[in-house]
Amino acid sequence: MRYARISVEGRAVWGRVGESDIELLSESPIDGEPSVIGAVPRATAVWLPPVVPLVFYAVGMNYPRHIAHAGARTPDRPEVGYRANNALTGHGSPIVKPADVEGRFEAEPELVAVIGRRLRRATYEEARTSVFGWTIGNDVSARTWQHQDRSFWRSKNSDTFKPMGPWIETDVDALAQRTTLRVNGEVRAHFPTGDMVFDPFDHVVEMTRHLTVHPGDVLWMGAESTCRIAPGDTVDVEISGIGVLSNPVHLEGT
Contact (Cβ atoms closer than 8 angstroms) between residue 235 and residue 181 = yes
Binders in 59-98 for a copy of itself, by CB under 8 A? 60, 75, 79-82, 84-87, 98
CB atoms within 10 A of CB 159: 14
Size, binding site for a copy of itself by CB under 8 A = 29
The b-or-e profile of 7-34 (16+ CB within 10 A means b, else e) is: ebeeeebbbbbeeebbbbbeebbbeeeb
Q: Give how far the C-alpha of residue 56 lies from the chain's centroid of Cα atoms, to the nearest Å.
A: 10
Smallest distance from the beta carbon of 144 to a copy of itself, in angstroms? Answer: 13
The site string for a copy of itself over 198-227 (x = CB under 8 A, - otherwise) reads ---------x--xxxxx-------------
Nearer to a copy of itself, 147 or 210 (CB): 210
Smallest distance from the beta carbon of 13 to a copy of itself, in angstroms? Answer: 19
**DSSP assignment of 150-169:** SSSHHHHHSTT-EEEEEEEE
CA triple 162-164-170, angle to 5 deg: 150
Binders in 91-130 for a copy of itself, by CB under 8 A? 98, 120
Span near a copy of itself by CB under 8 A; candidates 15-23, 25-33, 50-58, 231-239: 50-58
Using rule CB under 8 A, residue 151 touches a copy of itself: yes
Smallest distance from the beta carbon of 238 to a copy of itself, in angstroms? Answer: 28
The b-or-e profile of 40-67 (16+ CB within 10 A means b, else e) is: bebeebebbbbbebebbbbbbbbbeebb
Q: Is 34 helix (H, G, I), strand (E, B) or coil?
A: coil
Span near a copy of itself by CB under 8 A; candidates 14-22, 52-60, 106-114, 188-196: 52-60
Residues that bind a copy of itself (CB under 8 A): 52, 54-55, 60, 75, 79-82, 84-87, 98, 120, 149-151, 153-154, 157-159, 207, 210-214
